[in-house]
Amino acid sequence: MFALVAARPVSARELLRDAPRSLWVLSREHKDGWGIALRTADDWIVHRSTACAAQCSRYGEVVDGVRAQVLVAHVRQKTVGETSIANTHPFRRGPYVFAHNGTMRDVAWLIARTSPARLAEIEGDTDSERLFAFVLTHVDAADDVERGVVEAVRALHAIDDVGSASFLLSRGDRTFAHRLGRSLFALTRHAANEERRTAAVVIASECLTDEDWRELPERSLVAIDGDGFNLRNL
């Protein structure tokens, strides 16, 4: 699971393909599909496949051509739901994209607290897509993305045995990363005053390079604003 937010469009090939623990490398263990969501000026372009990324020529073609300011990517190791496009992350609903690592233990609890409108949007049979619908239900109720995500996370934290609910949610102008049950790391590249380099924040489930990654604490929620280098704890 991976997100990149940069001050201006940059290549993501290193982290997606060339780094020692890139998503391409990790896909040998997480072989049940891949997805890359790229933010354009006002929309998302989502590429998804059920193939193993390391064995998929299309993955290489997409990665070679990527220059993005905001990107969310995922390589899947299935636990709930068969291998299918409908079950492949990242999922998209309007302006939002979502990726999840882990397994939710009580899916019925999520469903009972999700609006009929969001339940009706579900296309596959993963717990991940239902977690996405649950989070968006709170966003809808709050009529504010940040307040809604915070309320959804508080509800998840109130459950004794929720399972693993580490996720990424992005609306393009703001990206959220939540750690619960699965690791998450953050990397800040290039300070804002380095005029010749592009400031960026990267979030990933593993340290993909030998740089100075910072492990996010368990039960933490952070927001990355669209300027690409402002990582805020919520």
Q: Which residues pair with 3 in a beta bridge?
A: 72, 203
**Structural domains of the chain, count:** 1
Query: What is the residue-averaged pLDDT of the chain?
Result: 91
Tokens representing 216 are 């996010």
> What proportion of the chain, given as a percentage, has pLDDT over 90?
74
Which pTM value belongs to this model?
Answer: 0.93
Mean pLDDT of 52-73: 93
pLDDT at 2 > cutoff 70: yes
pLDDT at 168 > cutoff 70: yes
pLDDT at 37 > cutoff 90: yes
Give the model confidence (pLDDT) of 185-211 as tens digits. 999 887 655 556 788 899 999 999 999
Tokens representing 189 are 């590249």
* Pairing label, strands 34-39, 67-75: antiparallel
pLDDT at 109: 93
Give the model confidence (pLDDT) of 118-165 as tens digits. 999 999 999 999 999 999 999 999 999 999 999 999 999 998 888 999
Q: Which residues pair with 187 in a beta bridge?
A: 202
For residue 116, how many other CB atoms are within 10 A of its CB?
A: 7
Tokens representing 182 are 């699965």
Helix (H, G, I), strand (E, B) or coil at 55: helix
pLDDT at 228 > cutoff 70: no
DSSP readout, 121-166? T--S--HHHHHHHHHHHHHHHHTSHHHHHHHHHHHHHTSTT-B--E
Mean pLDDT of 89-102: 96
Lowest model confidence (mean pLDDT) among 6-10, 69-73, 153-157: 6-10
pLDDT at 190: 74
Task: State the CATH number of the domain containing residue 224.
Answer: 3.60.20.10
Mean pLDDT of 5-9: 89
pLDDT at 193: 58
Would you place residue 65 in the very low, low, confident or very high pLDDT band (cuts 50, 70, 90)? Answer: confident
Domain membership of residue 229 as a residue range: 2-233
| Residue 72, amino acid | V
CB of 68 closer than 8 Å to CB of 39? yes
pLDDT at 226: 66
Interatomic CA distance for residues 172 and 18, integer angstroms: 25
Give the H or E element holding residue 2. strand 2-11
Interatomic CA distance for residues 8 and 165, integer angstroms: 30
> What proportion of the chain, given as a percentage, has pLDDT over 70?
95
Pick from 141, 101, 100: nearest CA to 118: 141
Interatomic CA distance for residues 234 and 221, integer angstroms: 6
